[in-house]
């Protein structure tokens, strides 16, 4: 059952009461930290109000313990360091709200947190019983109890962060923070500050002392995503921290010890990067204690149906309709190369759920690049059968093996032949519908979007009313 409890960290009594009234009206249960009993409470989010000082947040949320580091944050826009709080905590969900409270803004933020909770629960489930996934599950189960560094390898979209989160959740550090950072998404000149933090005045714009990801992950797990994109100077600094387990904030000279488990991931071939001189060999061996290589989707196609079912489940939690894929559609998907892997499949299922909610997806309904050879039977065959139902004389001719269906002595290109039939039927339907695509689609018993794509493919859209 979902939690409806919102923890409130707000010293201003009038603002705390105003927020509590709004949350209660919306069906949530506010619990004020320092006033109400919050021990052992399973909360949905934390509201952070007008607390002051750099360490005020950690002091105020101290009674919550380690669980506070995993909850989404609602941050008052006028709170000290509000923007910084949102930026630091974006990985777990963080939203700004203004006073006086606006119902629509507060409701939207809380709906976002509910969706994040549903997605987090779903995303932490490995789906599929194929041999490659059984191997991955076995590796995770073996390495999770230990603090050994893990290097997750694999193409983009294969679920490398999911592996890292699962290892953390199955480890003795599960009740401590899991902090992720994308090393390739942060400019090299800012990455040092993001990882190690900085002191006030360390550089232009450093108006306050700030903790880095190593400090935020203390006792837990630090996930270094896209480690292969890290610059060589930063690799040197990271290697030193991994060797000595100490670091210094930018602009500081006080060594700080750290106790974090390191899990790194990359889609690059690091051994090739070493040969190219863009990745340090000593750092590679420091990280590559326990490698886990994620299989691409094209190597685990047996999981296709299970993955689609899982994505349908997640979409239903977000209010989208489930979709079913016909046998021919699934056959077409199995023939596709899936360069975007599981992430690409997830995006496709969501797109189909928007276009054809609660419907059956045929090969003809798929975007063209996914259709493959099976689309000939699914599109041309469906159009031909629909036309024959309206023209029983032609149907009898084909069924009786007369000249209209006779195979030429030299054979023929079936795909081109059926495409020619399809073009003829589409032209007749457009003529009957006076060029109105929506009406022509009804005559052909196909979706309007499918017909539009076919018109573009065959160059027939110049003389029709596409927008009609």
Question: 408 is in which domain, residue-wise?
Answer: 373-468
Q: From residue 433, give the alpha-carbon distance in Å to each of 252, 430, 437, 449, 450.
A: 76, 5, 7, 16, 16
| Most confident of the ranges 35-39, 193-197, 263-267, 329-333 | 263-267
Q: Are 230 and 191 in contact (CB under 8 A)?
A: yes
152 and 273 belong to one structural domain? yes
Q: What are phi and psi of 25, to 5 degrees?
A: -60, -35
pLDDT in tens, 396-426: 444 444 444 567 777 777 777 787 788 888 8
Residues 145 and 277 in one domain: yes
Count the domains in the chain. 4
Residue 376 has pLDDT above 90, yes or no: no
d(CA 372, CA 328): 10
* pLDDT tens digits along 415-468: 777 877 888 888 888 878 777 888 888 888 888 888 888 887 777 765 555 544
3-state secondary structure of 405: helix
- Note the pLDDT of residue 1: 42
Neighbours of 215 (CB within 10 A): 18
Question: 163 and 105 in one domain?
Answer: no
What pLDDT is recorded for position 467? 46
Cβ atoms of 62 and 31 within 8 Å: the answer is: no
State the CATH number of the domain containing residue 336.
1.10.8.60
> 154: domain CATH number?
3.40.50.300
pTM: 0.59
- Using alpha carbons, list the distances in angstroms from residue 120 to 113, 115, 317, 428: 10, 8, 12, 51
46-68 residue pLDDT tens: 887 776 544 445 555 555 555 55
Overall average pLDDT of the 359-379 stretch: 73
Are 164 and 226 in the same domain?
yes
- Is 224 found in the same domain as 289? yes
H/E stretch holding 150: strand 150-153
| β-strands 94-97, 29-32 pairing | unpaired
- Does 146 lie in the same domain as 190? yes
pLDDT above 80 for 274: yes
H or E element in which residue 272 lies? helix 270-275
């Amino acid at each position: 059952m979902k939690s409806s409890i919102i923890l409130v960290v707000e010293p201003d009594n009038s603002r705390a009461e105003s927020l509590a009234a709004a949350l209660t009206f919306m069906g949530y249960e506010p619990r004020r930290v320092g006033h109400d009993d919050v021990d052992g409470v399973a909360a949905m989010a934390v509201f952070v109000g007008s607390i002051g000082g750099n360490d005020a947040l950690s002091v105020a949320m101290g009674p919550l313990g380690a669980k506070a580091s995993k909850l989404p944050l609602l941050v008052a826009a006028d709170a000290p360091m509000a923007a910084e709080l949102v930026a630091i905590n974006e990985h777990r969900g963080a939203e700004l709200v203004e006073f006086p409270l606006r119902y629509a803004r507060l409701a939207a933020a809380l709906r976002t947190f509910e969706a994040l909770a549903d997605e987090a629960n779903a995303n932490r489930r490995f789906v599929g019983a194929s041999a490659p996934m059984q191997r991955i599950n076995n590796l995770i189960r073996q390495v999770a109890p230990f603090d050994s560094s893990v290097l997750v390898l694999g193409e983009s979209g294969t679920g490398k962060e999911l592996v890292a989160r699962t290892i953390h959740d199955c480890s003795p550090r599960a009740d401590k923070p899991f902090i992720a950072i994308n090393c390739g998404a942060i400019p090299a000149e800012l990455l040092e500050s993001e990882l190690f933090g900085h002191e006030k005045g360390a550089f232009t714009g450093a108006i306050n002392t700030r903790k880095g990801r190593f400090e935020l992950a203390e006792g837990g797990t630090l996930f270094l995503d896209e480690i292969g994109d890290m610059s060589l100077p930063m690799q040197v600094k990271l290697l030193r921290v991994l060797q000595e387990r100490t670091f210094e904030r930018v602009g500081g000279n006080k060594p700080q010890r750290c106790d974090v488990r390191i899990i790194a991931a990359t889609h690059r071939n690091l051994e090739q990067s070493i040969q190219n001189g863009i990745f340090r060999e000593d750092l590679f061996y420091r990280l590559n204690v326990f490698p886990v290589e994620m299989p691409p989707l094209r190597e685990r196609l047996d999981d296709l149906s299970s993955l689609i079912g899982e994505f349908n489940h997640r979409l239903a939690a977000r209010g989208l309709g489930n979709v079913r894929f016909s046998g021919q559609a699934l056959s077409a998907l199995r023939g596709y190369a899936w360069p975007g892997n599981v992430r690409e499949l997830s995006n496709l299922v969501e797109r189909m759920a928007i276009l054809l909610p609660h419907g059956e997806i045929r090969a003809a309904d798929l975007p063209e690049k996914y259709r493959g050879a099976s689309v000939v039977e699914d599109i041309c065959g469906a159009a031909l059968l629909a036309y024959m139902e309206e023209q029983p004389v032609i149907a009898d001719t084909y069924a009786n093996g007369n000249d209209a269906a006779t195979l030429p002595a030299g054979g023929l290109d079936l795909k081109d032949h059926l495409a020619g039939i399809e073009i003829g039927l589409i032209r007749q339907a457009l003529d009957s519908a006076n060029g109105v695509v929506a009406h022509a689609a009804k005559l052909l018993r196909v979706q309007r979007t499918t017909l539009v794509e076919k018109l573009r493919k065959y160059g027939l859209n110049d003389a029709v009313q596409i927008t009609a």
